Amino acid sequence: MVLQLRLQQPIGVFDSGVGGLTVLREVRRQLPNESVVYFGDTARLPYGNRTQAELVGFVYEILEWLRSQSVKMAIMACNTSSALALEAVRQAFEFPILGIILPGARAAVRTGQRIGVIATTATVRSESYVRAIAETNPEAQVWQVACPEFVPLIESQRLGDPYTRAIAQDYLSGLVEEGIDTLVFGCTHYPHLAGLLRELLPASVRFVDPAKYVVRAAAKELELLGLRSNHGAGTTRFFVSGDPAQFAQSACPWLGQVPIAKQVPLSHVELLS
């Protein structure tokens, strides 16, 4: 009976906003029997310009809240927090916490040898992908580009905006000159721009979406722990630190429906103006 209760406990997935929906999509595809508690820290979006101390505090607070929701696992559906906060918080919680960078790096070196990484400024500065790729394959070459404008543009649903295209072209120009064969989406928001990026890059460049691989790793971990649910249809509950209506509007195009989200007033959430 105790094991059955644990099997039924949800997986926690969190991000700064709608980017983590790319991870949620993979959970629904790869682990259809699992229930999910999704948390978007929209009041403190974006994470890419935050300090490490700020992010560690935010992530610890979110994980404490997920603990109150009795999650059996947490997935950091955010490259920035994975880069800057994962190791600092992992030992403080009894449930497994998975970051997205190592699974993405391992997938990248299986895909190509000339690897471009597009990410937030904080993730680029951390050099987490550079280290993870080098540890997996020291022969691989890596070029990083910080793309600070992508997250706000995606959150405001400006994917078809000519300005977004111009910014993307500028960010990618150096990677094209280097002749990359692989592009890693070093932020979970960026797969939402996959169509545009495909237009701007040579057809030979292959994309790596780490969301697919962190969920694959999650599935293996759940199997190893005997916690993978194999019966019933999983449900998803949405929570945000900011405005639920705004999140629902931003999330609708990616979910195909308007989600019902509840606000969680975390103690250190900055007040919305």
Cβ–Cβ < 8 Å for 43, 272: yes
What does the CA dihedral 212, 61, 120, 256 come to, rounded to 10 degrees? 50
Q: What token pair was written down for 147?
A: 């793309």
Q: Which residues are catalytic?
A: 78, 187
Cβ–Cβ < 8 Å for 212, 189: no
Neighbours of 268 (CB within 10 A): 12
Instruction: Look at residues 252, 236, 253, 234 and name the one whose alpha carbon lies nearest to residue 244.
Output: 252
Neighbours of 169 (CB within 10 A): 14
Q: Quote the distance between the C-alpha of residue 178 and its chain's center.
A: 26
43 contact partners, CB below 8 Å, separation of at least 6: 240, 241, 242, 266, 269, 270, 272
Query: What is the C-alpha end-to-end distance of the chain, expressed in Å?
Result: 47
Rg (CA), the chain: 18
Query: Which one-letter amino acid corresponds to residue 248?
Result: A
Neighbours of 109 (CB within 10 A): 21
Alpha-carbon span 106 to 184, nearest angstrom: 11
Q: Supply φ then ψ for residue 37, to 5 degrees.
A: -105, 115
